[in-house]
Copies of this chain bind each other. A is one copy, B any other.
């Protein structure tokens, strides 16, 4: 079983297990890559031993590898060059890891997935520059697929991921944000990379354009479901929330779906606005949490997640029958079932 996944996830990944193992090798081989393939015409020595501990750290980051799995599954029903697909899937995961390095840097997070973060181990100076290095490494992998459409999409995705995080920052403590803004923000910061994961797998395998678009939209809906689901955990005090206090997003001024629905329901005298006026008052936070938990809002949010998952499944109808389509459907079910 790969990466300590539960049995259900492992079964979903089964058709592309070999490819996912090659992705792991690529990530573990970054330090090797650094020393072997860079012989400058200018005679500069290629080894940068300084980076080895950082690259080793990235190789052992773990995680569910859901993005590369989508890339590989999106290509699986079509005749394809497995090496190119492994490159692309590795690029998608590496890009995700690069964004985590910078997100943890700007958020001053000490722990991620139970491990100390790059910024807490090496400091901000290193984590900013090393994040840049990992972004660029992921881009070289995409270049090696030699597909210009996907290279451009990949660069646009980095713009989306960064602008999504910036929107979150600039919108903090602003209780006037509409639902549309939230949707745009989480599309950028999360779903955009899921879109690219699906689209790139299909494009590189030469899928017909309507199927490429279906796989891109599949990625979109799964990505939106993921992010809304994650945002709900922040209100649930769930063990998956890894020890963060309940309402942590809200304490940082970040509006997520439950808060936005609350603002829609109570446009006047809203307790969120009151909390933002008096941020350190635990009673004000508790008032918001109580209202969210006792108003049926959480149920409505869970319904939103399920709806995204259903739409993701629906997109699969145009695809060829087979084990990959079956796995993509099972992945949508898996995300759906995270909502009780």
Give chain A's interface residues, CB within 8 Å of chain B: 38, 40-42, 44-45, 48, 50-51, 102, 105-106, 124-126, 128-133, 135-137, 139-140, 143-144, 146, 148, 151-152, 155-156, 158-159, 161-163, 165-167, 169-171, 180, 183-184, 187-188, 191, 195, 213, 216-217, 220
Contact = CB atoms under 8 A, between A and B. Distances in A.
Contact of A106 (B40, B128, B217): B128
A137 B160 CA distance: 10
A140 B163 CA distance: 15
A156 B40 CA distance: 11
A166 B136 contact: no
Given A143-B148, A148-B146, A156-B140, A129 B165 contact: yes
Q: Is the interface of A mostly helix, strand, loop or mixed?
A: helix
Contacts of A41: 213, 216-217
A94 B213 CA distance: 31
Closest 6 interchain pairs by CB? Answer: A136-B158, A143-B152, A139-B155, A133-B162, A132-B162, A50-B170
A1 B326 CA distance: 64
Contact of A184 (B44, B171, B187): B44
Contacts of A38: 156
Nearest to A195: B42
Given A45-B184, A139-B139, A216-B41, A128 B102 contact: yes
A127 to B, nearest CB: 9
A44 B191 CA distance: 11
Given A41-B217, A48-B163, A217-B42, A129 B102 contact: yes
B155 A140 contact: yes
Contacts of A180: 45
B158 A102 contact: no
A155 B136 contact: yes
Contacts of A220: 42
Residue in A129, A143, A171, A217 whose Cβ sees the most chain B Cβ within 10 Å:
A129
A87 to B, nearest CB: 12
A169 B129 contact: yes
